Amino acid sequence: MIQHTSASLLIQENADPDVQSDLEKFFSRLVPEGDPLFDHTLEGLDDMPAHVRSALTQTSLSIPVVNREMALGTWQGIYVFEHRRASQNRDIALHLIGE
């Protein structure tokens, strides 16, 4: 689980970097910065859009572990999807169940 309200976790394709940039472009179009709809701009114009983007994605993942390895697909990788423009320090809590 990511312990922040303006970033999320994703399992996405890990082979083509265009996937990451395309996701960023899509979310920037879907929830643009500076939209007059938003009142919450205390930390900048990217603040509230980051919260909305986080609400539309995932803040925790369930990943099976088989033989002590994550059972991800061939092209899958785990990403912290940062929804703020500036660099941020992010904390992730791991909850492991089983052997």
> What pLDDT digit, counting tens, does each position of 14-57 carry?
999 999 999 999 999 999 999 999 999 999 999 999 999 999 99
Structure tokens at 23: 């996701």
Domains and CATH numbers, the chain: 7-82 (2.60.120.460)
CA distance 14 to 20: 9
Structure tokens at 76: 């899958």
CA distance 30 to 58: 16
> What pLDDT digit, counting tens, does each position of 43-94 carry?
999 999 999 999 999 999 999 999 989 999 999 999 999 999 998 999 999 9
pTM: 0.89
Structure tokens at 72: 């991800």
pLDDT at 97: 80
